[in-house]
Amino acid sequence: MTTPGLHPLLTEMDRIEIRIAALNDCAPETARSQFRRCCGSSRWVEQMTKARPFSDIAGLEACADRIWASCSRQDWLEAFAAHPKIGDQSGTRWSKQEQSGAAIASPMILAALAKGNQDYQAKFGYTFIVCATGRSAAEMLAVLEQRLGNNDDSEIHNAAEQQRLIMHLRLRKLLSE
C-alpha cells in the first residue's frame, strides 16, 4: 500500500501512522489484498481484515500474532504454500529481497538447497519455510539440514514460527513502502 507524495520531512513513524490509518480506512477488498502480501493464509487475512482498526504498529503486530496463534495446521500449510522454495528466485519482489542471499550463492550451494528442499517436502509434505532476511544461502542450507532431523510435530511449529517472523517483516514493509 503506497502513499505517494508524503512530505519528505515526515519521520518514518509519521509515515507508518499515515499508512496504518489508510489500512484502517480502506475497503475490505483492499485490506485483504494488502494482508495477503504478508501471509498466504486465507483465515489470517480475513481475521486481520475484520480486526481493523489498529492504533499503531505494536497493536497491528500483536493482533497478527494472536490471529496466527489461533490458526489451524491447515491455515499454516496454506500460508507455507504461498512461498517459493528457498533458492528459487521466481517469487514476489519481497520474496526475492528476503532471499537475496541465495541470489549470489554458488551453483553447489544452490544444488544442495534444491536437494534439501526436495528432501524436506518429501519428509514433511510442505515447503521449507525460514525467515531468510539477512541470511546467506549457506546459512539457510545449514538451517534446512538441521531441521530435516526434526519430527513432524516439532517441525510444523518451527515452520509456523518462521512464518510469523516473515509476517512481521512484511507488515513493516507494507507500512513503509
The catalytically annotated residue of 7, 83, 157, 168 is: 83
How far is Cα 131 from Cα 162, in angstroms, rounded to an integer? 5
How far is Cα 46 from Cα 108, in angstroms, rounded to an integer? 41
- For the cut 70, the answer to whether the pLDDT of residue 4 exceeds it is no
Architecture of the domain whose range is 12-176: Orthogonal Bundle (1.10)
C-alpha cell at 150: 526434526
pLDDT in tens, 113-153: 999 999 999 999 999 999 988 888 899 999 999 999 999 99
83 is catalytic: yes
* DSSP 8-class letter at 85: P
Stated pTM of the model:
0.87
pLDDT in tens, 13-34: 888 999 999 999 999 999 999 9
> What is the residue whose three cell numbers read 489484498?
33
pLDDT in tens, 23-69: 999 999 999 999 999 999 999 999 999 999 999 999 999 999 999 99
pLDDT averaged over every residue in the chain: 90
- Phi and psi of 90, rounded to 5°? -100, 5
